[in-house]
């Protein structure tokens, strides 16, 4: 794995751990938390499926085009991961702000 791939994986793992800790310490009821989490996870699952679909469709691009496409996909994945972290942080903030 390249250095940027390792960084992206570490970032995604950190975001996942942060989300899990936020959910564990959330003051909201379990049903509400699960509903919110389920909605967010299904949204991100669809985004990842689309990204994987793009990767599969683009597997026959020439070498130079593949390098450029790989950089674009990595950039998009990084942006989506940053958006995921932002959404998770917003969700955690919302959960923490709700009355007990």
Write out pLDDT tens, residues 11-26.
Answer: 888 888 887 777 777 6
Q: pLDDT tens digit string along 27-59?
A: 667 777 778 778 888 888 888 888 777 776 666
Average pLDDT for the chain: 77
Q: Which whole number is the average pLDDT over 66-72?
A: 81
At residue 100, the pLDDT reads 57
Q: What Å distances lie between residue 6 and 1, 9, 71, 73, 78, CA to CA?
A: 6, 5, 15, 15, 12
Is the pTM higher than 0.85? Answer: no
The CA angle 56-3-51, to the nearest 5 degrees, is 20
At residue 99, the pLDDT reads 64
- Assign 5 a pLDDT band (cuts: 50, 70, 90): low
Give the other-Cβ count within 10 Å of 56's Cβ.
Answer: 8
């Amino acid at each position: 794995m390249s250095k940027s791939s390792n960084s992206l994986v570490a970032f995604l793992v950190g975001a996942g751990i942060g989300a899990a800790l936020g959910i564990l310490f959330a003051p909201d009821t379990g049903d509400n938390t699960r509903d919110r989490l389920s909605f967010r996870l299904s949204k991100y699952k669809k985004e990842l499926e689309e990204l994987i679909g793009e990767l599969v469709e683009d597997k026959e691009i020439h070498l130079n085009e593949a390098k450029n496409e790989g950089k674009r996909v990595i950039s998009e994945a990084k942006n989506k991961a940053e958006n995921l972290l932002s959404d998770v942080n917003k969700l955690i903030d919302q959960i923490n702000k709700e009355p007990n």
